[in-house]
């Protein structure tokens, strides 16, 4: 496939903070690059530092954030870029708007429960603070998360290892005709894309855990 023949699309990861969106997005980025595809990531936390700087976490601001991400994803997708978005995107309606705008839209529900994340994956201690009422407006605790009713794919990160989730995404992309090869190509230590909020090691690789 030459570059000009690449068919653009958007993989849209949605789920609670700590569910695994950036982790899988980062792995998918390297897989798509290994296939010679043009790829970009619009990560929720990173977007909030530039494109959506100044926006807060009210429903209105969250929706504005999602529409901005969708707008950029639409431009990229229609220019043949494999676009990966990973904002929490808690509201169904905003995700539906993104789907309408983008067209070639693969919605992936990255699922883990609040209990699982709070107990086993909460290094910043945000869930404990939210559960104790010390911070408010936290998705899944005292702010809504509307799970997708009809996503292209659900990843249960409470039972899947990250690489299994990655395999499931690649298989779905192959089924939908967006990639030709769904075998995992990039193993072991991965260079950090610089496009997600995952931690970076001194050598510029993706750090384990959060």
Ligand X SMILES: Nc1ncnc2c1ncn2[C@@H]1O[C@H](COP(=O)(O)OP(=O)(O)OP(=O)(O)O)[C@@H](O)[C@H]1O
Using CB under 6 A as the binding rule, whether residue 21 contacts ligand X is answered as yes
What are the tokens at 207? 């750090």
CB of 155 to ligand X, least distance (A): 6
Using CB under 5 A as the binding rule, whether residue 168 contacts Mg ion is answered as no
Cα(18)–Cα(117) distance, integer angstroms: 6
- Report 83-112 residues binding ligand X (CB under 6 A): 86, 88, 110
**Nearest to Mg ion of 6, 166 (CB atom):** 166
Can 17 be counted among the known catalytic residues?
A: no
Q: Which residues does residue 107 pair with via DSSP β-bridges, in sequence order?
A: 12
Helix (H, G, I), strand (E, B) or coil at 197: coil
**DSSP assignment of 98-159:** HHHHHSSEEEEEEE--HHHHHHHS-TT-HHHHHHTTSS-S-BTTTB-----SS-SEEEETTT
Cα(30)–Cα(162) distance, integer angstroms: 14
Cα(16)–Cα(72) distance, integer angstroms: 22
- Report 18-57 residues binding Mg ion (CB under 5 A): 21-22
Out of 17, 52, 89, 165, pick the active-site residue: 89
Member of 35, 121, 174, 190 binding ligand X (CB under 6 A): 121
> Among the residues of 9-105, which ranges form H helices?
21-34, 44-47, 59-78, 92-102
CB of 161 to ligand X, least distance (A): 6
Which of the ranges 30-38, 130-138, 156-164, 180-188 carries the binding residues for ligand X, by CB under 6 A? Answer: 156-164
CB of 55 to ligand X, least distance (A): 15
Residue nearest to Mg ion (CB): 22
Helix (H, G, I), strand (E, B) or coil at 11: strand
CB of 86 to Mg ion, least distance (A): 6
Angle, CA 3 vertex, CA 68 and CA 29 arms, to 5°: 55
Which of the ranges 33-41, 61-69, 154-162, 187-195 carries the binding residues for ligand X, by CB under 6 A? Answer: 154-162
Interface positions with ligand X (CB under 6 A): 15, 17-24, 44-45, 86, 88, 110, 121, 157, 160-162, 165, 197-198, 209-210
* Active site (catalytic) residues: 89
Interface positions with Mg ion (CB under 5 A): 21-22
């Amino acid at each position: 496939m030459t570059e000009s023949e690449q068919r653009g699309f958007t993989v849209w990861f949605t789920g609670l903070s700590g569910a695994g969106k950036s982790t899988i997005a980062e792995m998918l980025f390297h897989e798509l690059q290994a296939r010679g595809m043009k790829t970009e990531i619009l990560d929720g936390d990173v977007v909030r530092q530039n494109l959506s700087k100044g926006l807060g976490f009210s429903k209105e601001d969250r929706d504005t954030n999602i529409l901005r991400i969708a707008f950029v994803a639409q431009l990229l997708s229609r220019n043949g870029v494999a676009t990966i978005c990973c904002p929490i995107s808690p509201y169904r309606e905003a995700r539906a708007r993104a789907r309408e705008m983008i067209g070639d839209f693969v919605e992936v529900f990255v699922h883990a429960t609040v209990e699982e994340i709070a107990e086993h994956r909460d290094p910043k201690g945000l869930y404990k603070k939210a559960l104790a009422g010390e911070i408010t407006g936290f998705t899944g605790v005292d702010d809504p998360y509307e799970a997708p009713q009809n996503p292209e794919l659900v990843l249960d990160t409470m039972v899947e290892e990250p690489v299994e989730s990655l395999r499931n995404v690649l298989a779905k992309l192959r089924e939908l005709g967006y990639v030709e090869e769904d075998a995992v190509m990039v193993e072991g230590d991965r260079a950090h894309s610089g496009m997600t909020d995952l931690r970076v090691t001194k050598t510029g690789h993706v750090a384990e855990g959060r």
